[in-house]
Structure 1
Amino acid sequence: MQASIQPIFTWSQERIFAGGTQNVILLIEWKGISGKEESRRQSRKVVAREIELRIWLEAHVTFTECHGCTAEAGEGRSILLRLGKIQSKARKFIALEFSMAAKPAGIHEALWLQWQYKQPPVERIRELPLKKLSLEYSHHTDVLSEKCCFHVEKHLELLKTKKLLEEAVLHRTKSSVQTDFEHLRRQADDLLLLAARSGDMQLVKEAETVYKQLDAEVNVWSKTATR
């Protein structure tokens, strides 16, 4: 039976410096997949529910932050991510930040990942094969100047933007809302700077959307504050 989700993993850097602790980001994206016949009949059909991703960390790896979902502590050195459902042809993203302790030069295993989900219509539990992710450690100092993978950087900023927008709406009636607005405006500025550097029009559109929503939220907050 064909799998209902197709995951892709992208490190912010394929090589890191071996001489000290390094911070890295793992972008995880997954796409909803359905059979050809089903795809023709119903393109937005839910193809997987109750998606879970369990990640086991090697001893030199420390999990530090999650963007796009909430991480739960699992047994041993593991974390559990509950990722809900996905429709056919839809694509979702999360980003995880890790701290990597110093290691000898070479390729070292970092993470082990296992996907589990319920596959409609019979809600049968399915698992994808266990996936191993490794990173290369190098003593060459040129790796210190290597930039973050643009694909990872782009989606990390989009995930941060989504969270800030949600917080601004949630805190609309609270005194901290002005701080949220400042963070949101800075985030929109960062999106524009990244767009200018890369020429990515999706980032331009996202920044414009943030500015418009920010203006709308400020107007709503101003009316509420003057009552």
Structure 2
Amino acid sequence: MVKSMVNVTYTWDKESISANGSEQVNLLIEWGHGAIRKRKGTLMPKTVGCDLQLRFIPESGVNLLKVDGARLNFNRSEDGEYMLVHCGDMRRGKYKQAILSFSIPAHSSGRHIIGLMEWSWRKPTQEKRTLIRTDQLYIHYTHHLGLLSIPINPKVEKYIKLNETAPIVKKALRMYEKGEHERGAFVLTRQADELLIRAARTEDMEYLEEAELLFAVRNKWNGTFGLFQTYSSKVFVNKGISVEDVRFTEINILK
């Protein structure tokens, strides 16, 4: 297998899936080149590869349902034999993430391959596309209830939850623009409250930061769009946050 030029990690949301198959299983992919860039300088990181593409060649019955990630899109070949994910240019020290969702058919218990991942790019000064890495993708099938009851991987769960913010904000903005201020505020508040609950349970401050951002957006738009109703979710939290500190807003505005 070709393994060079790009660093890639694959993380399933569940360590094992039912041998009866799964309608949706999620895979977190993280990729980049070189050491992670920590300092935010004024110079743009060097481009090491252009038009990075991930070509997924599935085993029989496996289907790539969707791809969630910043500025990513995918399409299927006309014969359906592979799916192509367009990942953009790659810069030194910059890493990206995406969630790939699959439907997977039934299989006998054990660790089995579900497809092949092929990564390719173009050098900045070249037009020719080069294969830079290939990986076989495996998953574990089981009938063991203990293995199937293992909670979702927290890292994958967090990426999925935080990735919901952008479309929710867009949805709320459309409501505000239509004059449905209360509905828009409710959508933002509900998502922020869910993030606060997760922050309390996991002590993960990224959930808290995302919740505070949503509250700030809601409060800003309440003023901008002329919504004067008072909300009770102006929350002050610190690193000692607990479940008892978090309460959902007691306003049912979607009656």
Compute the TM-score of the two structures, normalised by the length of structure 2: 0.72
Alignment partner, residue 39 of structure 1:
none
Q: Is the 8 A contact 2:172 2:187 kept in 1?
A: no
Q: Secondary structure at the match of 1:108?
A: strand
Q: Is the 8 A contact 1:51 1:84 kept in 2?
A: yes
Cα deviation, residue 82, structure 1: 1.3
Cα deviation, residue 170, structure 1: 6.3
Alignment partner, residue 85 of structure 2:
81
Alignment partner, residue 54 of structure 2:
53
1:22-33 equivalent positions in 2, closer than 5 A: 23-33=24-34
Alignment partner, residue 191 of structure 1:
195
2: CA distance, partners of 1:173 / 1:197: 35
The alpha-carbon distance between structure 1 residues 99 and 129, as it changes in their structure 2 partners (threshold 3 A), is same
Write 1 or 2 for the structure with the bigger share of strand: 1
Alignment partner, residue 96 of structure 1:
100
1: CA distance, partners of 2:115 / 2:197: 32
Alignment partner, residue 145 of structure 1:
149
Amino acid at match of 1:148: I
| Correspondent of 1:71 among 45, 70, 74 | 74
Q: Is the 8 A contact 1:94 1:159 kept in 2?
A: no
Cα deviation, residue 136, structure 1: 0.9
Alignment partner, residue 207 of structure 1:
211
Cα deviation, residue 167, structure 1: 4.5
2: CA distance, partners of 1:98 / 1:176: 36
Amino acid at match of 1:203: Y
Structure 1: where are the runs of 5+ without partners? 35-41
Which stretch of structure 1 is more off in the superposition, 182-191 or 51-60? 182-191
Cα deviation, residue 11, structure 1: 0.6
The alpha-carbon distance between structure 1 residues 92 and 177, as it changes in their structure 2 partners (threshold 3 A), is farther
Compute the TM-score of the two structures, normalised by the length of structure 1: 0.80
| 2:116 is equivalent to residue 116 of structure 1 | no
Q: Deviations over 1:14-34 (max 9, x none)?
A: 211213535311011112338
| Correspondent of 1:135 among 133, 139, 163 | 139
Q: Is the 8 A contact 1:50 1:117 kept in 2?
A: yes
Q: Is the 8 A contact 2:16 2:148 kept in 1?
A: no
Q: Secondary structure at the match of 2:177?
A: coil
Q: Is the 8 A contact 1:43 1:88 kept in 2?
A: no
Structure 2: where are the runs of 5+ without partners? 36-42, 228-255
The alpha-carbon distance between structure 1 residues 107 and 33, as it changes in their structure 2 partners (threshold 3 A), is same
Percent sequence identity over aligned pairs: 28
Q: CA RMSD in A?
A: 2.8
Q: Is the 8 A contact 2:49 2:122 kept in 1?
A: yes
Which stretch of structure 1 is more off in the superposition, 70-79 or 8-17? 70-79
Cα deviation, residue 64, structure 1: 2.7
The alpha-carbon distance between structure 1 residues 211 and 141, as it changes in their structure 2 partners (threshold 3 A), is same
